[in-house]
Amino acid sequence: MTDSSTVIRSVRPGDEVELTAMIHELAAFERASAECTVTEDQLREALFGSAPTVFGHIAEVDGRAAGGALWFRNFSTWDGVAGIYLEDLFVRPDFRRRGLARRLLATLARECVEHGYSRLTWAVLDWNVDAIALYDSVGGRPQTEWITYRVSGSELSELAESG
């Protein structure tokens, strides 16, 4: 692979087709296909609607969508500035071991630096040793003192109605 055949770029309308496919591929890799219900229409609205809620980048190799990163801005009350939360980073199997994930992370780091954001944050499944090795190699550090919580589905509805 040569650098001239690889492009990392911001998403543009039409990319939701490949990104939705990659999200479903990622769900399969994470053994959670049944939980993944996102559609191209939903992703198009989230990326390009009147109030975008997610942003993204595509890694292309020889014009083919090889990987992608979907992220959103968050806010650090302690730092007083925004940051980026990387929701999904995925490189298709045929394109792994070429540095694409590292280049996508570097692109997001530049996004942070250029906009004065204080941090780039993400989560990784504890069994994904290849991803953990990459994240360690770029200076990522596990935030072991924090426990991630989520409320969704019927529990979310019940909480909303509770008071």
For 131, the 3-state DSSP assignment is helix
**Does 23 score more than 60 pLDDT?**
yes
Strands 64-76 and 55-61: antiparallel
Give tens-digit pLDDT for 3-15: 459 999 999 999 9
Strands 120-122 and 55-61: unpaired
CA 53 – CA 87 distance, rounded (Å):
12
**Does 140 score more than 70 pLDDT?**
yes
Give tens-digit pLDDT for 78-135: 999 999 999 999 999 999 999 999 999 999 999 999 999 999 999 999 999 999 999 9
Residue 79, both tokens? 């730092």
Mean pLDDT of 139-146: 93
For 13, the 3-state DSSP assignment is coil
Mean pLDDT of 5-29: 97
Q: How confident is the model at residue 163 (pLDDT cuts 50, 70, 90)?
A: confident
CA 141 – CA 5 distance, rounded (Å):
31
For 55, the 3-state DSSP assignment is strand
Question: What pLDDT sits at residue 16?
Answer: 98
Question: What pLDDT sits at residue 2?
Answer: 46
- Which residue matches tokens 């994904």? 128
Residues 6+ apart with CB under 8 A from 4: none
Mean pLDDT of 11-40: 97
For 29, the 3-state DSSP assignment is helix
Q: Which regions of the chain does DSSP assign to beta strands (E)?
A: 6-10, 55-61, 64-76, 81-91, 120-122
The domains of the chain, with CATH numbers, are 3-161 (3.40.630.30)
**Distance, CA of 60 to chain centre:** 16
Nearest CA-CA partner of 60 in 20, 132, 1, 120: 1
